[in-house]
Amino acid sequence: MAMIIPKSLKKGDTVALISASGATPEHRIERAIQAVEQLGFHVVVGETCRARHGYFGGSNELRAKELNDMFRNPEIDGIFCIRGGYGATRILPMLDLEMIKENPKVFAGYSDVTALHIVFNQQCGFVTYHTPMPSTEFIRPEMDDYTWEYFINSVTNTEWNDYFLENAKGQNMNTVVPGTATGELAGGNLTLVAASLGTPYEIDLKDKILFLEDIDENVQRIDRMLTQLSLSGKLQQLSGILLGAWTDCGPMDLKNAENNLTLDTVFEEILVPLNIPIIKDVTCGHVLPTMSLPLGKTVTIDATNKSIQVVG
């Protein structure tokens, strides 16, 4: 079944800012709102942006209700997650997926938001956008033209196909396993992808191109999660793999080097035997600059020539 492409946003459209995950630091909220307004959008600020329940942006019930309401409301044209953190998986059983399926909209965010991307792609059948977020990247002084361009093009040209996803200038993609493959783009944050296994919201990777990135996970933990995906049989179903940024994903033992493996060694031992095309060092993840990805669209990767093309 063909994926639904949400209607492109345009200047003057109304965008909701919500947190389906963590609580947003108070000092970031107004700057985040201003950053989105400067893009030409009218902003509706969800209660979850200012709410707090421990480390969550309000209770599970509030976060789920607000997300449902924003999809249901015909005056809301798009939904941007103001931040990640943790908590999206908590609200999955409370989402009205049938209603959301009937009201596809531009939905943008990344990191913990991966849990929602998986569900909206698979169970609601529409493309979503793995993008930087208003209270994290948008307000950072390092926010750059490359990142802005990818974000804006993603949300305002949703039907755009036949273009290449290219790294920022001076940053090279690298081949892990050569070859070409075509498939629907899926994935996001490795921790959330692994956490979906064994649940009703488990990621489907059959014939897909899997993108992975993470932050603040040592190499042993990354090894464990990739091993879990392998033992589950998920990795063996893939057409290809894209590896993004692994921010602050260093050695397990900072005192004894002999107790560590490198990320490249882990990739070599777990991913290379799959014998499918793999590209690493894709400019995407918890980094700046970062590209935006259309999750659910079909891409062709040429690992030999280090290219990624959105084809449908």
DSSP 3-state assignment of 124? coil
How do 14-18 and 78-81 pair as beta strands?
Answer: parallel
Active site includes 286? yes
Active site includes 130? no
* Among 154, 239, 286, 292, the one annotated catalytic: 286
Cα–Cα distance measured from residue 222 to residue 209, given in angstroms and rounded to the nearest whole number: 19
Active site includes 213? yes
* Among 19, 21, 111, 239, the one annotated catalytic: 111
* C-beta of residue 240 within 8 angstroms of C-beta of residue 206: no
Residue type, 192: L
Rounded to 5 degrees, what are φ and ψ at 193?
-60, -50
* Among 21, 213, 217, 239, the one annotated catalytic: 213
Cα–Cα distance measured from residue 296 to residue 312, given in angstroms and rounded to the nearest whole number: 9
Instruction: At 226, list the tokens.
Output: 């990739």
- Is the preceding omega at residue 93 within 30 degrees of 0, hence cis? no
Maximal CA-CA distance, the chain: 58
- Is the preceding omega at residue 294 within 30 degrees of 0, hence cis? no
Cα–Cα distance measured from residue 153 to residue 9, given in angstroms and rounded to the nearest whole number: 10
DSSP annotation of 285: S
DSSP 3-state assignment of 105? coil
Which residues are catalytically annotated?
111, 213, 286
